[in-house]
Amino acid sequence: MTGETIEQLKARLKRGNEEKELASQKRLEEIRKSQAPFRAEQETRKRAEEQERKKLLDGARQKREQEMKDSACRSWTAAGGTEEEFEESWSSLRTEMLKRRTLENEEQARTAQRRHNIRSF
């Protein structure tokens, strides 16, 4: 050895490792900073796509609801009711229709599951 004690060698190696770690941390921070504009652009694009998706879903939901309302109104008036009576009753009718459809969908899902389980044997 060059006259360096083990303790001095350990201390020198430790300093070297600390310097490497510091340089590595500094480089990582530089990379993060350089990627910040790209990340911001990606986040902006993601938000815009999410807003567009929500807008499309809202439009489809409103269209379905209007179709449901128009169909129910036709049935109501065909059965002898008036459009004014229908408008007064629409809120409760809509809720009842949604409940009924939900229950029907659940029953269909259970039936499909039973069929699948029978076929699995």
Torsion angles phi and psi, residue 4, rounded to 5: -80, 130
In angstroms, the Cα distances linking 120 to 39, 96, 97 are 48, 36, 34
Tens digits of residue pLDDT in 66-116 = 999 999 999 999 999 999 999 999 999 999 999 999 999 999 999 988 888
What was the pLDDT predicted at 80? 94
Tens digits of residue pLDDT in 39-48 = 899 999 999 9
Q: Do residues 25 and 33 touch, judged by C-beta distance below 8 A?
A: no
How many angstroms separate the CA atoms of 39 and 111, rounded?
47
Q: Do residues 97 and 68 touch, judged by C-beta distance below 8 A?
A: yes
Collapse the DSSP code of 81 into the 3-class scheme (helix H, G, I; strand E, B; otherwise coil) and give the result.
coil
What is the pTM assigned to this prediction?
0.52
Lookup: tokens for 107: 């029953």
One-letter amino acid at 38 equals F
